Amino acid sequence: MSTDASISDLHVLVFTPFGKDSVLIERVLTSSGIRVDVCGGPDSLVSAIGEEAGAAIITEEVLQSAGIGSIVDKLSAQPRWSDFPIIVLTGGGMSTASTESAERSRAPLGNVSLLERPLRPATLVSAVRTALTARLRQLEIRDHLREREAAEQALRRAHDVLETQVEQRTAALRLLSSRLMRVQDEERRRIARELHDSLGQYLAAAKINLDVLAAEKPNAAPHLREASNLIERAISDTRTLSHLLHPPLLDEAGFGTAAKWFVEGFGSRSKITTRLEMPPNLDRLPSEIEIALFRILQESLTNVHRHSGTKKVEVRLRRDDANVSLEIEDHGKGIAKELLEHLGKSGANVGVGLAGMRERVAELGGTFDIRSGKKGTCLTATIPVPQRVADDTSSSYSARAASNHPVA
């Protein structure tokens, strides 16, 4: 029933087991425009108590009958918004044992009003209208609670839809990021090969020709030797650039050898004391893990050189049966707190390098952690290593190594 209903839309239930009370009550209330349902027994009354009913009128004899238990049970099971009004018609005169028993019996009924008999029509109509008005207020509360529950359910559904969309888009972005990183790695590998096989070979041929000319033309030898030296430097720089883009050692000998080569070169170029700790006989790792570890090592040491101001950096690699862990620790000025908070929450506004490292590790099911303070920064990437048959893994690496060109 809507809260737009009026008192005339509610039913008044009447149960008076003896006498003509029900006939008189029905006549008085109906003449006042109030709808009345006369109940033939306790079970009929119990089944009629609901949201269409506005109040009930019973006599005190009902309180002493066996049926009072079912009425109490019905009212005890009301929803929280409901406090169904009961009007009890009592006998006039002095208190007796019977009336005292009835007094105790009506306590569990809850919202009870008393009217003494003989009834006065005006008093009865007034009491009933008061009870029905109170019932209308309860129904308004019911509708308000239902509207709020419906709004909350709609909000939860909208929230679930948004969460699903966010998860889907996050997964799509992560997939796109992973694909971009793989494409980037392949492009680096291709450019490195082109630099080595094409430009490197052309420069080497040009240097040979200059050396031959220098031997044939002594007068031009100084200029030719100078040009030869410049080409030698170009060859060296090309080789270094090629190896930095994608070192052949990574494919041919694995991460351990490539890491040693890169760390030694980094220390030489940056003048930062760099120490590398790793197991002496490091087994080959799956290709995607070795590439991820090498890119993290590259990016981390580049950041150390650019931003930390440290004079010393330690690189530690640990391996157990389940995981491989790469840790880079410097003793510089640390990373700003705001930057670390952004990285921990969303990864936004932290630069391509840190976000890329985190994405690489996440794609492989690992964890990425950065601790930073006034004494420096420690970055740790831990990646689970899938269990593979050693022979199959070695064979796949050998095949990949054989497909690459030798280092110039």
Domain boundary among 60, 89, 119: 119
The pair of three-digit structure tokens given for residue 136, joined into one six-digit string: 């209308």
Query: Kind of pairing, strands 86-90 and 112-116?
Result: parallel
Q: How far apart are the C-alpha atoms of 130 and 155, rounded to whole Å?
A: 38
In a domain, 273, yes or no: yes
Task: Answer yes or no: is 238 within a domain.
Answer: no
Report the phi/psi class of residue 213: left, alpha or beta, with left for phi > 0 and alpha for psi in -120 to 50: alpha
Domain of 257, CATH number, reads 3.30.565.10
The CATH number of the domain where 34 resides is what? 3.40.50.2300
Residue 191 CB neighbour total at 10 angstroms: 14
- Final residue belonging to a domain, choices 119, 149, 171: 119
Query: CB within 8 A of 169, min separation 6: which ones?
Result: none
The Cα–Cα gap between 44 and 145 comes to 29
| 371 belongs to a structural domain | yes
- Judge whether 334 lies within some domain: yes
Give domain status of residue 151, yes or no.
no
The answer to whether residue 101 sits within a structural domain is yes
Q: Which domain, by its residues, includes 114? A: 8-119
Residues 256, 403, single domain; the answer is: yes
Do 255 and 112 lie in one domain? The reply is no
Name the residue among 134, 115, 111, 107 with its Cα closest to residue 25.
115
Which residues are paired to 5 by β-bridges?
A: none
338 belongs to a structural domain:
yes
How many CB atoms lie under 10 A from the CB of residue 188? 16
- Are 260 and 403 within one domain? yes
Residue 312 covered by a domain: yes
Assess whether 251 and 110 both reside in one domain.
Answer: no
Phi–psi pair at 328, nearest 5 degrees: -120, 120
Which ranges of 195-254 does DSSP label H, i.e. alpha helix? 200-216, 221-245, 248-252
**3-class DSSP assignment, residue 308:** helix
- What is the full per-residue pLDDT of the chain (408 aa) written as tens digits? 544 568 888 999 999 987 788 899 999 999 999 999 999 889 999 999 988 899 999 988 888 888 888 989 999 899 989 999 999 998 765 445 555 555 555 667 888 989 988 889 999 999 999 999 999 999 999 999 999 999 999 999 999 999 988 888 877 877 777 677 777 777 877 776 777 667 767 777 887 887 788 777 777 777 777 888 888 888 777 776 766 677 777 778 888 888 998 899 888 888 999 999 999 888 888 988 998 999 899 889 988 988 888 899 999 999 988 999 999 999 988 887 777 776 665 554 444 578 888 888 988 889 999 988 888 999 999 999 987 634 444 444 444 444 443 333
Q: Are residues 258 and 403 in the same domain?
A: yes
Q: Note the pTM of the prediction, 2 decimals.
A: 0.51
Q: Which of 85, 119, 153 is the last residue of a domain?
A: 119
Q: How many domains does the chain have?
A: 2
